[in-house]
Amino acid sequence: MSLHHRHLLQIEGMHPPDIGAMLDLAESYVLLNRSGKTQRDLLRGRTLINLFFEDSTRTRTSFELAGKRLGADVINMSVSTSSVNKGETLLDTAATLNAMHCDLLVVRHGESGAPSLLAQKVDAAVINAGDGTHEHPTQALLDALTIRRRKGRLEGLTVAICGDVLHSRVARSNIHLLTAMGSRVRLVAPPTLMPSQAGRLGVEVFHDMRAGLEGADIVMMLRVQRERMSSSGGRIGLVPSEREYFRFFGLDAEKLALARPDALVMHPGPMNRGVEIASEVADDPARSVIKEQVEMGVAVRMAVLDILSRQNRRND
């Protein structure tokens, strides 16, 4: 299979057969990882740089592990943007990376569009690991893989994406992927945390969580992203107190009972327990697939690195 792109910057615009093929390949990496084997010849001699301008534990380590399991030389670069001009840093960094002959560049940045800017300036294949409020494509792929493995399909499922949709790149990538693959997507959020254009995304919009959860196959919770509220200029008042938020938009066993009896609970992490999700559901092995999402993350990133490195080898 091949992607029609040299980079993985966003899910929007990806063709459903490419998404399906990517998930199939990731599926084979799940089995490889579970068998304890590696495939270190695939990326031998290739250099992967993890360039993170924003904090991350899960995503960075997941890419690191994925790269190492395929035999790449992996380098982690964390860059603080607090005291420097962001645009200048980005272009300087691009020049440095080109000089280092990096093959695969994984980028997380607080500004939407930063990975795509870098992709125009570097020779490496760029993978977006989360840019501002724009997209987080590998998260949507790992979420889809988790759902597909548990439910056997994506088509026709009702997926309720709940919480701080406004600031969530995870939500945006998931909306594009799930609607492309034929799922019915519902967005559930208070009006202050719902994007104004939500109705144009081919989804159903709910401001009442109980109504939004009714009959859902998948309940995908999102973190309340307070850091993006304060940085976007006086928008800290977008959410009431945490207790109040939890009462109306936090997932507990009682609200989950409105979804289908076999509904799965998901969360990309890090979780704010007691704010958007109660521990009783987050830790319930019968309903929660949150740990499985992490496992799928490594497999999906191996598949992405595999495909992009093959693709770019062809273009060499």
Binding site for ligand NCD (CB under 6 A): 58-59, 130, 136, 139, 169-170, 223, 225, 268-269
Closest separation in Å from C-beta 41 to ligand NCD: 29
The Cα–Cα gap between 288 and 236 comes to 30
Nearer to ligand NCD, 269 or 274 (CB): 269
Tokens of 184: 């019915």
CA 126, chain centre distance (Å):
15
Nearer to ligand NCD, 190 or 268 (CB): 268
Nearer to ligand NCD, 113 or 269 (CB): 269
Contact assessment for residue 212 and residue 178, using Cβ atoms and an 8 Å cutoff: no
Closest separation in Å from C-beta 218 to ligand NCD: 17
How far is residue 309 from each of residues 19, 59, 64, 105, 296, measured CA to CA in Å? 17, 19, 15, 11, 20
**Which contiguous run of DSSP H or E holds residue 173?**
helix 169-180
Closest separation in Å from C-beta 110 to ligand NCD: 10
Closest separation in Å from C-beta 205 to ligand NCD: 21
Nearer to ligand NCD, 46 or 238 (CB): 238
The Cα–Cα gap between 198 and 127 comes to 26
Nearer to ligand NCD, 212 or 268 (CB): 268
Closest separation in Å from C-beta 225 to ligand NCD: 6
Tell the burial category of 73 from Cβ atoms under 10 Å away from its Cβ (0-12, 13-18, 19+). middle
Closest separation in Å from C-beta 139 to ligand NCD: 5
Cα R_g (the chain), whole angstroms: 19
Nearer to ligand NCD, 58 or 149 (CB): 58
DSSP line for 188-230: E--GGGS-TTGGGGT-EEES-HHHHHTT-SEEEE----HHHHH
Nearer to ligand NCD, 130 or 212 (CB): 130
Nearer to ligand NCD, 272 or 311 (CB): 272
Closest separation in Å from C-beta 221 to ligand NCD: 10
The Cα–Cα gap between 180 and 160 comes to 16
DSSP line for 114-144: HHHHHHHH-SSEEEEEEETTTB-HHHHHHHH
Task: Give the nearest residue (CB) to ligand NCD.
Answer: 223
How far is residue 38 from each of residues 41, 60, 66, 72, 274, measured CA to CA in Å? 9, 19, 10, 12, 39
Closest separation in Å from C-beta 107 to ligand NCD: 13
